[in-house]
Amino acid sequence: MGLLPLARIVLLPHRPGMSDTVLIEPLIAAFVAECRIYCQRRGISLGTLGSYAASNSKLFQRLEAKGECELRTMRKIREYMQANPPNAIRNRRKAR
């Protein structure tokens, strides 16, 4: 699964009359969509991912309700997903 590297995310300079949410909402929406795909492949809920990766089972509920998230939290969750790819977890379960 291709994850978006956070180093490539560029925040545009704030322009007069432009809301910060115009810049942030698409980023968070893409992040939630990426996490949703991961969860579907792994067979877990977004709440479980939030609990495992960030010790916050309500994180994705808040994000879907137009909440905010720190970039370091997004990075932490992406690092968790990279360290725990869905296929590797399934293969480990089958080997038992």
One-letter amino acid identity for 31? F
Contact between 47 and 57 (Cβ < 8 Å): yes
For residues 91 and 58, give the distance between their C-alpha atoms in angstroms, rounded to a whole number.
Answer: 29
User: Half-sphere exposure (CA, 13 Å, Cβ side) for 90?
Assistant: 10
How many domains are there within the chain? 1
pLDDT confidence of residue 46:
97
Pairwise CA distance, residues 91 & 87, whole Å: 6
Is residue 71 situated within a structural domain? Answer: yes
Would you state the pLDDT for residue 8? 44
Contact 79, 4 (CB under 8 A): no
Domain of 89, in residue numbers: 28-95
Whose structure tokens read 């792994």? 42
- How much is the pLDDT for 5? 46
**Residue 6 in domain:** no
Residue 4 within a domain: no
Does a structural domain hold residue 18? no
Q: What is the full per-residue pLDDT of the chain (96 aa) written as tens digits? A: 455 444 444 455 556 665 554 567 888 999 999 999 999 999 999 999 999 999 999 999 999 998 888 889 999 999 999 999 988 665 555 555
